[in-house]
Amino acid sequence: MVDHSKEDRLRILVTGGAGFIGSHLIDRLLKEGHRIVVVDNLVTGSTENIAHLAGNSDFHFIKHDVSNFIFIPGQIDYILHLASPASPNPRSPYGYPQLPIQTLKVGALGTHNALGVARAFNAKFLLASTSEVYGDPLEHPQTESYKGNVDPIGPRSVYDEAKRFAEAITMAYMRYHDLDTKIARIFNTYGPRMRLDDGRVIPNFIVQALSGQPLTVFGDGMQTRSFCFVDDLVEGLHRLMLSDFNEPINLGNPVEMTILELAEMINKMTGNNAGVERLQDRRDPDDPQRREPNISRAMDKLGWKPEIGLKDGLQRTIDDFKDRMG
């Protein structure tokens, strides 16, 4: 279990802090009284996500690509390494299929550089990894002991292998340099501040629904996902960073649903009468048919499980998208 008494006022480096998850996480950390340094090159992040922090003396932003050497003046106590493209959509300019070299570099060089900062300051380190390290899983739901079913040269490999390498070098630094490191394997997460053109299923569906368009579902829509609201994920990351646990840990919502069920729910919540349009299945063959985390380890080691139901989380996300779409 987490000992919250360990938490003091820290100076924390967050790579990718202008991104969707990163910006929510730094809001939480600032609320806890910490001082935050964000390093982000804004390739997939946005200053809109952190604009509300302008003038906050505990917040400092540096525009920089962490694939290059990272210099941070002053002591750093903790590093949260979130920098990476994350959308698998090949039609999104922010997806890793459009940014293959950058994705590999930030997973390898960026993680190496961030770990170098951690070693220089003897700082604790948390890697934001992904459920994609499991590939198209042959085990369901996925436990942390599952080694994965991953194609190292397929279209998704630039992201999958970048994160698998990031995990490997993180564990190497823990074992060889005796660094205190954590690894969070993040499953599908959604919420306010996701890019409208992100390309993942929930932003796609909400934008289509609010525009009065049919929701486009590939194939029969029976492929499944489990969706974790960003506030729940941030709580899990916060508990993990305060814990003494060093093995990989799944953070996600174990409630599984089909893509077709999700489409019908969003249409109903938005009052969209355009229905669903089924398209020929053009998805990547390595795109997992099923995705659901086993969170027994998170429940045992962190006392964590998601608390926000899908309907509540979707409503908050829909409201945010309405505001930004005008």
DSSP string, 174-234: HHHH---EEEEEE--EE-TT--TT--SHHHHHHHHHHTTPPEEEETTS--EEE-EEHHHHH
Catalytic residue (choose from 134, 159, 173, 190): 159
| Residues 43, 323: Cα–Cα separation, whole Å | 23
Q: What are the CA-CA distances from residue 153 to residues 102, 159, 252 (Å)?
A: 16, 11, 27
pLDDT of amino acid 221:
87
The mean of the pLDDT values for the chain is 93
Q: Is the peptide bond prior to 100 cis by the omega test (within 30 degrees of 0)?
A: no
Q: How many CA atoms lie within 13 A of 308 on its CB side?
A: 20
Mean pLDDT, residues 115-129: 98
Q: What is the pTM of this model?
A: 0.94
| Residues 166, 112: Cα–Cα separation, whole Å | 8
Helix pair angle (259-270, 310-325), 10° resolution: 60
How large a percentage of the chain has pLDDT more than 70?
95
Domains, in order of start, for the chain: 10-325 (3.40.50.720)
| Residues 64, 41: Cα–Cα separation, whole Å | 5
Please say whether the beta carbons of 27 and 237 come within 8 A. no
Q: Which residues contact 315 (CB under 8 A, 6 or more apart)?
A: 269
Distinct helix (H) and strand (E) counts, the chain: 9, 13
Q: How many Cβ atoms are within 10 Å of 311's Cβ, its own excluded?
A: 10
Residue 96 among the catalytic residues = no
Task: Give the confidence band of 93 by pLDDT, cuts at 50, 70, 90.
Answer: confident
What type of residue is 323? D
Q: What are the CA-CA distances from residue 191 to residues 172, 275, 312, 326 (Å)?
A: 33, 23, 10, 18
Task: Give the confidence band of 100 by pLDDT, cuts at 50, 70, 90.
Answer: very high
Task: Give the confidence band of 175 by pLDDT, cuts at 50, 70, 90.
Answer: very high
